[in-house]
């Protein structure tokens, strides 16, 4: 059934709406009321300005007809009051944009032109070497032909933003006419309803407050274009846990964002500097995080002082194939899934928790640069890293409670509407077997084809890291005071202290006072000399405590790597009955009420 456009001329302005051909008179009045933002009782529609020919039937209405709206003085005042917020929207948008603090990477890339230079075409160019024409002039970073020729499936976020700014003719942020070109979709019923013509949902709903149907299709841009690991030791150290125990492992990625313009115009890459492993229970087929993590704020503080941000997560999904060749089973491929439904929900939840600030969004945020990296078997049965992000629409659906996990790991389930929440229709577009784009209803499930991979080409370098936190000796290494002493005594601390896991352990010990620990972090960043660190008072205390703890190894003070499980010597049994770990320096004491090394009370 075709639709026609009906135009309305009212005292408050001109409006238009689409009307299905053959619609009833009541449907006509309902859609006119929605377009005007007024109750049906407060206006009349006529074919002439004087109101002598009221519309009593829709049969004679034609496409493009201009009808006249008659309103009372009270109705005009109500309409103008409803329109007042819209008149202030541009000034409000400017104030919101002014309060948004974007990431430095966004401010840096936004200043770049991003245009792609082209050489003179010998076939089509008819000018000299100093001229320019349509065949050789620079093109925009979102040019579809360039993206297709260079096999760039997703343009960068800043190319997408530039395209939106040009298409919408968006003025500068500080302009009084500024309207953000980006918007985050909400899939919830608007409360209160802008029309104010009915009761609150579920007792009433209209086109003004009802969320639009969701059409899923491949997102043509991505917030991060590349993931890079600074050193192979970062990944090898993480996989070591699985190699030692056969259990899966989870970690949080800390690093920074840098320009990635060599492959993708106006692109951004996530550079991983370290992996933090939070407390967790691990098994060969699953893992469970211990939440909340009391150390998370300390980790974020240390990372922030080093100029690092939380940029993503990583976890293993590895199963030995039993051949004895060191190869693994390939579970994730185009015929199964790349991310399971539960993983999509978890990734989308974290992306929603860590949004990207943007001055060009009506909400002050748009999308997320939080990445998900999965270490699993590839089609050659080797260990490989795949990186993903959930599309903005997918994150919005998870955030607004539209979808849930299903029994099939390759499918998400759309929830059913209820009195508590209205669920809009969900469709997805895809290419069928004939290469044509088709659209189908996605109830109750739809394919998980909306998390797109970031091509990982890490540049790894060897390193000998400090034992990783929260492993509890599973890999034969222990984060004890002896390990600390081996790295800070008689060594070049400018190298040994440049270790994320060692710095986290020092922060957890609380032996270095706040000022001296801040000095250590500045020295690691290169902002202060290590001589100032060595000269500090609490550094001397740390050396003394670490030395005493290391020398006490022969007395059974520590159960680190190399110590016997029985505690050592004939005194092992009695020592195990009365020993306790100092909460301040971690020294294992044999009885007593105060620590033999740091002197602090047992219960203090």
* CATH, residue 21: 3.10.20.90
Domains of the chain: total: 3
Q: Is residue 603 part of a domain?
A: no
Q: CB–CB of 21/1 below 8 Å?
A: yes
pLDDT for residue 450 is more than 50: no
**Of 435, 463, 491, which residue sits at a domain end?**
463
More confident residue, 316 or 121: 316
DSSP class of residue 415 equals P
Provide the mean pLDDT of the chain: 82
Q: How many CB atoms lie within 10 A of CB 267?
A: 25
122 located within any domain: yes
Strands 221-222 and 280-282: unpaired
- Over range 532-548, report the average pLDDT: 86
The residue to which tokens 């819209």 are assigned:
86
3-state secondary structure of 8: strand
Domain identity same for 204 and 323: yes
Question: How many angstroms from the chain centroid is the CA of residue 190?
Answer: 25
Residue 442 shares a structural domain with residue 554: no
pLDDT value of residue 31: 87
In this predicted model, what pLDDT tens digit does every residue of 493-524 receive, in sequence order? 777 888 888 899 999 988 999 999 999 999 88
Structural domain span for residue 37: 3-87
Q: What are the DSSP calls for 126-170, one per residue?
A: -S-TT---TTTS-B-TT-HHHHHHTT-SSEEHHHHHHHHHHHHTP
pLDDT interval class at 42 (50, 70, 90): confident
Lowest mean per-residue pLDDT among 236-250, 285-299, 458-472: 458-472
Q: Report the pLDDT value the prediction gives residue 81, as an integer from 0 to 100.
A: 58
Single out the residue of 600, 595, 562, 556 nearest to residue 575, CA to CA: 556
Residues in the chain: 604
pLDDT above 70 for 584: no
Q: Do 412 and 523 fall into the same domain?
A: no
User: What does the alpha-carbon distance between residue 494 and residue 488 come to, in Å, rounded to a whole number?
Assistant: 10
The answer to which of 84-88, 114-118, 525-529 has the lowest mean pLDDT is 84-88
User: Tokens for 57?
Assistant: 């039937």
- Residue 163 tokens read as 């395209």
Q: Which domain CATH number covers 210? A: 3.40.140.10
Q: Which segment of 3-7, 207-211, 246-250, 546-550 scores lowest on mean pLDDT?
A: 546-550
The SS3 assignment for 515 reads: helix
Question: Which of 87, 116, 139 is the endpoint of a domain?
Answer: 87
In a domain, 599, yes or no: no
Q: How confident is the model at residue 460 (pLDDT cuts 50, 70, 90)?
A: very low
Q: Please state the rounded mean pLDDT for residues 476-494.
A: 78
Choice among 63-72, 254-263, 467-476 with the minimum mean pLDDT? 467-476
Query: Do 354 and 276 lie in a common domain?
Result: yes
Question: First CA to last CA across the chain, in angstroms?
Answer: 79
Does residue 161 have a pLDDT over 80? Answer: yes
Residues 6+ apart with CB under 8 A from 583: none
For every residue of 14-51, which 3-state class applies, written as one string?
A: EEEEEEECCCCHHHHHHHHHHHHCCCHHHEEEECCCCC
């Amino acid at each position: 059934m075709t639709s026609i456009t009906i135009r309305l001329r009212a005292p408050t302005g001109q409006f238009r709406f689409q009307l299905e051909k053959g619609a009833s008179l009541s449907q006509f009045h309902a859609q006119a009321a929605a377009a005007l933002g007024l109750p049906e009782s407060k206006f009349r529609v006529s074919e002439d300005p004087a109101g002598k020919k009221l519309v009593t039937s829709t049969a004679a209405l034609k496409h493009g007809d201009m009808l006249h709206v008659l309103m009372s003085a009270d109705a005009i005042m109500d309409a103008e009051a409803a329109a007042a917020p819209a008149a202030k929207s541009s000034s409000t948008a400017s104030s919101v944009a002014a309060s948004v603090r974007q990431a430095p990477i966004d401010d840096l890339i936004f200043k770049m032109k991003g245009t792609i230079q082209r050489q003179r075409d010998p076939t089509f160019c008819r000018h000299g070497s100093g001229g320019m024409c349509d065949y050789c002039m620079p093109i925009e970073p979102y040019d579809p032909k360039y993206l297709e020729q260079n096999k760039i499936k997703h343009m960068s976020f800043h190319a997408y933003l530039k395209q939106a700014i040009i298409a919408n003719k968006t003025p500068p942020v500080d302009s009084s006419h500024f309207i953000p070109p980006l918007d985050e979709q909400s899939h919830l019923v608007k409360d209160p309803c802008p029309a104010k013509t009915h009761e609150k949902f579920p007792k009433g709903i209209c086109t003004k407050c009802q969320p639009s149907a969701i059409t899923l299709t491949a997102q043509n841009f991505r917030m991060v274009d590349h993931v890079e690991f600074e050193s192979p030791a970062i990944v090898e150290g993480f996989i070591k846990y699985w190699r030692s125990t056969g259990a899966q492992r989870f970690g949080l990625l800390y690093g920074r964002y840098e320009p990635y313009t060599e492959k993708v115009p106006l692109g951004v890459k996530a550079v991983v500097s370290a992996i933090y492993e939070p407390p967790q229970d691990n098994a060969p087929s699953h893992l469970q995080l211990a939440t909340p993590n009391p150390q998370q704020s300390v980790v974020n503080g240390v990372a922030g002082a080093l100029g690092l941000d939380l940029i993503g997560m990583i976890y293993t999904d590895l199963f030995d194939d039993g051949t004895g060749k060191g190869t693994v089973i390939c579970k994730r491929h185009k015929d199964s899934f790349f991310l399971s439904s539960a993983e999509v929900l978890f990734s989308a939840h974290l992306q929603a928790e860590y949004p990207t600030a943007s001055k060009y969004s009506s909400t002050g945020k748009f999308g997320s640069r939080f990445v998900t990296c999965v270490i699993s078997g590839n089609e050659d049965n080797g260990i490989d890293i795949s990186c993903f992000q959930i599309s903005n629409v997918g994150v919005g659906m998870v955030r607004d409670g539209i979808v849930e996990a299903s029994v099939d790991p390759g499918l998400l389930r759309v929830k059913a509407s209820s009195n508590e929440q209205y669920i809009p229709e969900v469709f997805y577009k895809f290419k069928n077997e004939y290469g044509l784009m088709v659209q189908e209803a996605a109830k109750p499930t739809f394919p998980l084809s909306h998390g797109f991979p970031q091509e990982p080409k890490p540049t790894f370098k060897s390193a000998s890291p400090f034992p990783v936190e929260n492993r509890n000796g599973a890999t034969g290494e222990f984060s004890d005071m002896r390990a600390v002493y081996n790295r800070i005594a008689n060594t070049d601390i400018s190298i040994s202290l440049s270790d994320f896991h060692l710095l986290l352990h020092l922060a957890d010990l609380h032996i270095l006072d706040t000022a001296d620990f801040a000095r250590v972090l500045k020295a690691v960043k290169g902002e202060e000399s290590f001589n100032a660190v060595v000269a500090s008072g609490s550094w001397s205390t740390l050396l003394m405590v670490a030395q005493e703890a290391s020398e006490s190894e022969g007395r059974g003070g520590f159960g680190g790597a190399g110590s016997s499980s029985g505690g050592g010597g004939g005194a092992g049994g009695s020592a195990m009955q009365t020993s306790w770990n100092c909460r301040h320096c971690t020294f294992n004491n044999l009885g007593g009420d105060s620590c033999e090394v740091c002197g602090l009370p047992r219960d203090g």
